[in-house]
Amino acid sequence: MRSRAIFVLNLLLMAVLTAGCASTPPTESVNLDAERPTVFIAGSSRGLGLEFARQYAALGWNVIATARNPQGSDGLVDLAAAYPETVVLDTLDVTMQADVDRVAQRFAGQPIDVLIHSAGIWGDLDAQTFGQLEFDEYELIYEVNALGPLRVTEALIENVKASEQKKIITLGGGMGTRKTIEGAPGGHYWYRMARAANLASMAIVQRENKKRGVIIGIISPGKVDTQMLRDSGWPPHFKSMSPEESAGLVIEQIAALTPELGGELINFDGKVIGW
């Protein structure tokens, strides 16, 4: 009797201990409504990514919302609960090839009309200031902001090609253009260099996939009040947009994208900015 009580206690203890652990990422395939367009978002735990997920869900799209820890984002968890048929959450760190491969396998055959790269980091400001540059810091910023979009794009390109709209969106880029570099104060080396690499890689993807109807939209969301803007040192009293407003405007630009605009850097208001 006593040993049975100890066994039950142990079971209870194990249940309590494992309840707080992150669950294993899902591997089962999903069946999304083929009549609806589908958006896939990398980096949707907060900020613009979360707002894209919310607004596309409200528009009636299938939403594949990914994040490093989706269950840790109340916004994503609430959204999935509100749209159980159309919102799917998944785990994706854009610097991890194994994550990218698993996600590509899980969604194999699923057309993706709009693939949005919203994962990004600014990085430590001091470490990217001339005179005290910390070269190790560059690696992570480059991995997330430059290699991340390319890694995810390569893995999901067949999904995009299989869709009706065939659009791939990367956010920002202005910080990596010659025009901004010449027109703005210095600093921010690692972020700007990674943005320049992101522009170049997306332009190459555009060139290679144009004939298959793929459109790369490089869209500047403006100054948006998110964690990233705060990390960039943007003074809080300077003007910025809310993520809701910016995401809404960017979604309008995504809808208006034509093949001629592929590879161009477009402002949230539709103005084409040379790079």
Q: How many residues does the chain have?
A: 275
Toward ligand NAP, which CB reaches closer, 221 or 263?
Answer: 221
SS3 category, 155: helix
CA angle 209, 158, 169 (to 5 degrees): 60
Please state the closest distance from residue 212 (CB atom) to ligand NAP, in A.
25
Per CB under 6 A, the list member of 93, 107, 159, 176 interacting with ligand NAP is 93
Stretch that binds ligand NAP, among 3-11, 77-85, 208-216, 225-233 (CB under 6 A): 225-233
CA distances from 96 to 66, 102, 140, 157, 213 (A): 13, 10, 12, 17, 28
Binding to ligand NAP by residue 97, rule CB under 6 A?
A: no
Toward ligand NAP, which CB reaches closer, 64 or 228?
Answer: 228
d(CA 142, CA 155): 18
Tally of CB atoms within 10 A around 1: 4
d(CA 70, CA 78): 11
Toward ligand NAP, which CB reaches closer, 67 or 156?
Answer: 67
Binding to ligand NAP by residue 55, rule CB under 6 A?
A: no
Binding to ligand NAP by residue 120, rule CB under 6 A?
A: yes
Per CB under 6 A, the list member of 32, 80, 229, 266 interacting with ligand NAP is 229
Per CB under 6 A, the list member of 57, 121, 152, 254 interacting with ligand NAP is 121
d(CA 219, CA 266): 5
Please state the closest distance from residue 9 (CB atom) to ligand NAP, in A.
37
Site for ligand NAP in 136-195 (CB under 6 A): 144, 171-172
Toward ligand NAP, which CB reaches closer, 144 or 249?
Answer: 144
Per CB under 6 A, the list member of 63, 64, 115, 119 interacting with ligand NAP is 119
- What is the total count of residues that contact ligand NAP (CB under 6 A)? 28
Taking the mean position of all CA atoms in its chain, how far away is CA 208? 22
Alpha helices in the chain (DSSP H): 2-19, 47-58, 74-82, 97-106, 135-142, 148-161, 178-183, 189-209, 227-231, 243-256
Stretch that binds ligand NAP, among 14-22, 37-45, 129-137, 263-271 (CB under 6 A): 37-45
Token pair recorded at residue 49: 């990514």
Q: Enumerate binding residues for ligand NAP (CB under 6 A).
A: 42-43, 45-49, 67-68, 92-95, 118-121, 144, 171-172, 220-221, 223-224, 226-229
